[in-house]
């Protein structure tokens, strides 16, 4: 740590005030005509029973399970605890939520008969009034099950068969799920391919290749919840003109002490004198990995922008674990199973997994992708983070300006980049080339952009990547990669900005007192460099730029260090619905004497690792933490001081990331107020982990606010290097 670099300050438990919270929610009486409404519900149940009896060779024919759809009135929501409790009491299980009002549900045949009788009681006697909050019971239609992309393909395709995936009804027991798989296998006994696998939450998926007629028939099966085209994933090995360099490592670096990143790719091969940078070669399902793409990706993890170091001994910043998961075009079921196995094998050795692999088509966005969801589940299960490429497109081949490219829906991110809990990385140009259509500090002509799932901001951040002129990689330090032959080549793609950020994350994690990957992710986002001035933007412009650049350009130095003009306070903790938290941080008294021209910027980043559930549709994220900035105004009052722009403070996102600039205020204890909001899948007393970073920056750069804070707070906030040194001594 240099004289200019200072250690961040840790917010201790004593600086957090817990406030009791009593969440409440009740629905108003709808004043329905129970005879008319009851008849509607009764007719819906009769139709469900009649339709089920007409299904030939249905997979649930011999199972004690009835599947149907429930819809609530427009003003009501399935997330209302009152409605959940009522359906549970009636023996109705919510299996898959389509939106706030609609869900696919199930019950036993005995409970279905009981439900029919109770609806009759509601209709004739006006009793059991909670039925007023159910607008209808109905059959799940084929159109509802099939994805938009599949329906479009069935209309225009001339192929005799299609490669599809069937998602079975989620949240059923393993025994029933396995019987359903066998039943469907028997129904599709003449299909070209049949593979079943299970997501980490127990949901059954079947991949098969069948005729269009069979697709229409299997879509009627009541055990099938979703039918979609199989996604395929691949890496792109561009033709590169290699340059021969004598590459050697800087001998002053202790290789054994470097942090570790697992590289999920096509295999890694370094020159013999660099082989010690590879911790292990995983013996997975791929016996003869290609290693072309994976080696280039791994070089970005290990050396960052290797082009900045050519001509001198290379300084590594991380080691890698080589996890081959892909060679050629690979189906979603295979790549998910390989990632599951690799994470299980190496999560005890590394909490960072780089994945520079994407689908060949952009996301729909209405539902989280299966692969994106699986990465989120693995994150929660194993305590790891995936750094994911945003994906690449080829719109630059048919467009000669960035406006048209960014406006094209085909430029949207590709799975699994829609993962909510993990880190998606796009690419911006780091050099100005007159022959390129993307300008410096602008999104590259190949990088996919947001929005992500359900309109949320993606990518999460960006890094400098190579610039293209048509399909030619232009030479600059951001294009350089190490090739498996030991030469230096040049390549372009978000495949190489993701590992740059994965290495950045490893450096940040290595700097922390403990191996807290959530705090490392928070500091990664917090230290980004804004590539646009949000203060001068409209709300619409801010959201647009958020979907181009995310939170900004990755910058390790800003993530790891404070300085005399810029002080960052950090904390990790847990919060539940029953307790609000007020987290204190400090502005030194020297700032009280500043003129109105001297401004102070407060930046806040808070990330929560919330539970996720793909069966809940748009309600995918189980909880979020609302972070509000509270200042001391010139009258000494504690008042809310959030920025006017809401971008960065969106409900049900995993991260609150915002800043505000002040010229009139009082110094002292300012606060961030934290409040947890959760869905019905999360109990009120369930603790959700979070990490927060808060920066106070003197924009005038006149004052040494770091030392002023240290002198005034009397050890209330502890430099993190002291904590790290104490941990070393104790260990």
Question: Tens digits of per-residue pLDDT, 114-149?
Answer: 999 999 999 999 889 899 999 999 999 999 899 888
Residue 20 clears pLDDT 60, i.e. is over it = yes
- Give the phi and the psi of residue 306 in degrees, each rounded to 5: -60, -25
Within 10 angstroms of residue 239's Cβ, the number of other Cβ atoms is 8
Work out the average pLDDT over 599-608: 96
The DSSP element (H or E) to which 503 belongs, if any, is: helix 494-511
The DSSP element (H or E) to which 226 belongs, if any, is: strand 224-229
The DSSP element (H or E) to which 166 belongs, if any, is: strand 161-168
DSSP per-residue codes, 86-152:
HHHHTT-EEEEE-SSSEEEEEE-HHHHHHHHHHHHHHHHH--SGGGGG--EEEPPPHHHHB-HHHHH
pLDDT in the model for residue 419: 98
Q: 688-698 and 600-608: which strand pairing?
A: antiparallel
pLDDT in tens, 240-279: 667 777 789 999 999 999 999 999 999 999 999 999 999 9
What is the C-alpha separation between 490 and 473, in angstroms, rounded?
Answer: 7
pLDDT in tens, 417-430: 999 999 999 999 99
Q: If pLDDT is split at 50, 70 and 90, which confidence band does 689 have?
A: very high
pLDDT in tens, 565-603: 999 999 999 999 999 999 999 999 998 865 666 789 999
Using CB atoms within 10 Å of the CB of residue 723, give its burial: 0 to 12 exposed, 13 to 18 middle, 19+ buried: middle
Mean pLDDT score of the chain, rounded to an integer?
A: 92
Nearest to 662 by CA among 648, 681, 678, 643: 643
pLDDT in the model for residue 115: 96
Nearest to 48 by CA among 68, 64, 65: 68
pLDDT in tens, 81-107: 788 889 999 999 999 888 778 999 999
% residues pLDDT > 90 (the chain): 73
């Amino acid at each position: 740590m240099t004289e200019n670099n200072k250690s961040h300050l840790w917010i201790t438990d004593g600086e957090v005030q817990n406030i009791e919270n009593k969440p409440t929610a009740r629905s108003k009486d709808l004043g329905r005509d129970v005879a008319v409404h009851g008849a509607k519900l009764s007719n819906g149940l009769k139709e469900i029973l009649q339709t089920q009896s007409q299904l030939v060779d249905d997979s649930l024919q011999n199972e004690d399970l009835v599947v149907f759809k429930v819809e609530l009135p427009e003003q009501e929501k399935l997330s209302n605890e009152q409605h959940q409790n009522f359906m549970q009491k009636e023996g109705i299980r919510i299996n898959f939520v389509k939106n706030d009002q609609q869900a696919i549900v199930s019950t036993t045949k005995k409970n279905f008969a009981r439900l029919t009788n109770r609806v009759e009681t509601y209709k004739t006697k006006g009793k059991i009034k909670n039925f007023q909050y159910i607008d209808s019971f109905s059959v799940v239609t084929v159109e509802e099950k099939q994805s938009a992309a599949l329906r479009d393909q069935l209309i225009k395709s001339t192929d005799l068969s299609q490669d599809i995936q069937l998602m079975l009804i989620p949240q059923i027991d393993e025994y029933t799920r396995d019987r359903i798989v066998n039943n469907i296998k028997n129904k599709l006994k003449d299909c070209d391919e049949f593979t079943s696998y299970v997501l980490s939450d127990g949901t059954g998926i079947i991949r098969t290749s069948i005729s269009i007629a069979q697709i229409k028939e299997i879509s009627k099966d009541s055990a099938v919840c979703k039918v979609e085209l199989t996604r395929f994933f691949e890496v792109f090995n561009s033709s590169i003109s290699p340059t021969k360099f004598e590459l050697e490592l800087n001998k002053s670096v202790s290789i054994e002490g470097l942090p570790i990143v697992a590289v999920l790719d096509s295999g890694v091969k370094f020159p013999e004198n660099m082989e010690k940078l590879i911790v292990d070669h995983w013996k997975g399902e791929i016996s003869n990995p290609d290693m072309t793409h994976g080696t280039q990706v791994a070089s970005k993890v290990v050396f960052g922008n290797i082009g900045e170091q050519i001509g001198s001994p290379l300084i590594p910043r991380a080691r890698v674990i080589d996890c081959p998961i892909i060679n050629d075009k690979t189906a979603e079921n295979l790549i998910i199973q390989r990632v599951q196995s690799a994470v299980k094998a190496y999560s005890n050795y590394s909490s960072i997994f780089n994945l520079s692999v994407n689908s060949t088509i952009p996301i729909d966005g209405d539902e989280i992708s299966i692969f994106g969801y699986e990465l989120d589940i693995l994150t929660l299960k194993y305590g790891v983070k995936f750094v994911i490429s945003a994906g690449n497109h080829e719109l630059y081949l048919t467009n000669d300006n960035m406006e048209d490219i960014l406006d094209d829906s085909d430029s949207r991110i590709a799975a699994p980049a829609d993962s909510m809990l993990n880190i998606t990385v796009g690419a911006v140009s780091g050099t100005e080339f007159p022959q390129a259509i993307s300008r410096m500090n602008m999104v590259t002509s190949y990088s996919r952009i947001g929005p992500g799932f359900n309109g949320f901001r993606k990518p999460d951040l960006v890094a400098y990547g190579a610039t293209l002129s048509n399909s030619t990689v232009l030479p600059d330090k951001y294009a350089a990669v190490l090739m498996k032959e030991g030469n230096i080549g040049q390549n372009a793609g978000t495949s190489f900005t993701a590992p740059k950020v994965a290495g950045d994350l490893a450096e940040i994690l290595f700097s922390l007192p403990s191996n807290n990957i959530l705090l490392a992710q928070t500091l990664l986002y917090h230290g980004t460099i804004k590539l646009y001035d949000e203060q001068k933007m409209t709300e619409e412009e801010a959201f647009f730029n958020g979907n181009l650049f995310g939170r900004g350009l990755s910058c390790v130095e800003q993530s790891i260090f404070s300085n005399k003009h810029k002080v960052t306070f950090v904390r990790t903790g847990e919060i539940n619905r029953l307790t609000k938290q007020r987290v204190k941080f400090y502005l030194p008294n020297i700032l009280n004497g500043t003129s109105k021209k001297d401004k102070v910027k407060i930046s806040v980043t808070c990330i929560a690792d919330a539970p996720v559930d793909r069966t809940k549709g748009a309600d995918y994220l189980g909880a979020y933490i609302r972070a509000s900035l509270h200042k001391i105004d010139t009258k000494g009052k504690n008042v809310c001081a959030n920025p006017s722009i809401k971008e960065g403070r969106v409900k049900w996102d995993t991260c609150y990331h915002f800043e505000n600039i002040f010229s009139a205020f009082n110094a002292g204890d300012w606060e961030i107020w934290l409040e947890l909001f959760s869905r019905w899948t999360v109990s009120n007393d369930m603790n959700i982990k979070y990490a927060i970073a808060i920066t106070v920056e003197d924009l005038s750069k006149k004052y040494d606010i770091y030392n002023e804070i240290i002198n005034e707070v009397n050890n209330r906030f502890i430099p993190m290097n002291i904590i790290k040194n104490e941990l070393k001594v104790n260990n």
